Amino acid sequence: MPVVASIFSGRSTYIKLAYRLQSKMPIKQRPVSPHIQIYRPQLPSMLSILHRATGLFLVLGLIVICSWLVCVALGEESFQMFNSIGSTLAGKILSLGLVFSLVYHCFNGIRHLVWDCGYGFELTSVYLSGGIVFLLSIVVTLLIVVRAWL
């Protein structure tokens, strides 16, 4: 009980010691570390973030696909309900995002396999392959979506 009482009775000895040490330390006018507002986003870093985000979105898409399979197993009524949700604008946007995620993740995965072989590390090659992967992903996604929706 004395330990609990000392914790709740006020500041502990360690916190008091930290405050005493901090008050003795000289205040230095050090420069603040550069923030995101200073740096311009670069294509390789943005594509790396997009690769991770599409991987996460694919996991969420796997949950949607598993839910669809459960609805198929439950019968016609639940299957129709799931399909009616999928035919809304939100469902179409979700399916567009899933298709783009799959296509981009596949193409960028191929790019990473090429890197694993030791090719394409020159700066111009990194930017060129990144741009090609991104544009090719958009084109293939649009082709798949137009074919599926028409």
Please state, in angstroms and rounded to a whole number, the distance separating the CA atoms of residues 90 and 96.
10
Q: Is the pLDDT of residue 139 over 80?
A: yes
Domain edges within the chain = 43-149
Residues contacting residue 72 through CB under 8 Å, at least 6 positions apart = 79
CATH number of this structure's domain 43-149, picked from the four choices 2.70.150.10, 1.10.3720.10, 1.20.1300.10, 3.30.420.40: 1.20.1300.10
Please state, in angstroms and rounded to a whole number, the distance separating the CA atoms of residues 100 and 94.
10
Q: Is the pLDDT of residue 8 over 90?
A: no
Inter-CA distances, 53 with 47, 63, 114, 137, Å: 10, 16, 21, 15
Q: What is the pLDDT of residues 14-40, one digit of tens each?
A: 777 777 777 776 777 766 666 666 777
The overall pTM is greater than 0.75: no
- For residues 140 and 149, which has the higher predicted lDDT (pLDDT)? 140
Joined together, the tokens standing for residue 23 give 């008050």
Q: What is the pLDDT of residues 83-116, one digit of tens each?
A: 998 889 999 999 999 999 999 999 999 999 999 9
| DSSP state letters, 61-124 | HHHHHHHHHHHHHH-HHHHHHHHHHHTSHHHHHHHHHHHHHHHHHHHHHHHHHHHHTT---SHH
Please state, in angstroms and rounded to a whole number, the distance separating the CA atoms of residues 73 and 133.
38
